[in-house]
């Protein structure tokens, strides 16, 4: 993981929350193709929203990979739960990104595999 930028809006994240974000969002690099891991960066915004029925916490994350910007947002009554849900949403998006950006295998690899089955 190259860069993770964590900011708070009407919420001051403590060190344990920052470590949790780095651990969860930083682990997303395993879903990336190798060429994209060096330029992978993330911006995470943590918010506290005052509602009539109590406080609610929002997590908004933006992941920048080559050729695409992936975003996810969620709000719950617990900040760590919101981070978990956003991490799961981004993991799904990164799996799809990896599938669409796989390098195409050339005809030589197919011919070599075919020759192994025949011979």
- Does pTM surpass 0.75? yes
Please measure the distance between the N-terminal and C-terminal CA atoms of the chain and give it in whole angstroms: 45
Distance, CA of 107 to CA of 112 (rounded, Å):
9
Laid out side by side, the sheet with 3-9 consists of 3-9, 41-51, 54-65, 68-76
By DSSP bridging, strand 68-76 and strand 54-65 are antiparallel
Domain-wise residue ranges, the chain: 3-118
Q: What pLDDT shows up at residue 108? A: 73
Distance, CA of 103 to CA of 105 (rounded, Å):
6
* Tokens 């089955």 found at: 117
Q: Where are the beta strands (DSSP E) in 12-53?
A: 41-51
* Spans in the chain with pLDDT lower than 70: 1-2, 103-105, 109-110, 113, 116-117, 119
Q: Which CATH number is associated with domain 3-118?
A: 3.30.160.100
């Amino acid at each position: 993981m190259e860069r993770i930028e964590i900011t708070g809006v009407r919420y001051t994240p403590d060190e344990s929350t920052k470590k949790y974000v780095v651990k969860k969002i930083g682990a997303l690099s395993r879903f990336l193709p190798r060429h994209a891991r060096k330029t992978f960066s993330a911006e995470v915004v943590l918010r506290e929203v005052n509602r009539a029925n109590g406080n609610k916490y929002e997590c908004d994350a933006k992941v920048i990979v080559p050729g695409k910007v992936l975003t996810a947002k969620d709000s719950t009554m617990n900040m760590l739960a919101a981070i978990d849900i956003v991490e799961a949403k981004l993991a799904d998006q990164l799996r799809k990104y990896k599938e669409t950006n796989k390098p195409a295998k050339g005809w030589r690899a197919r011919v070599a595999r075919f020759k192994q089955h025949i011979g």
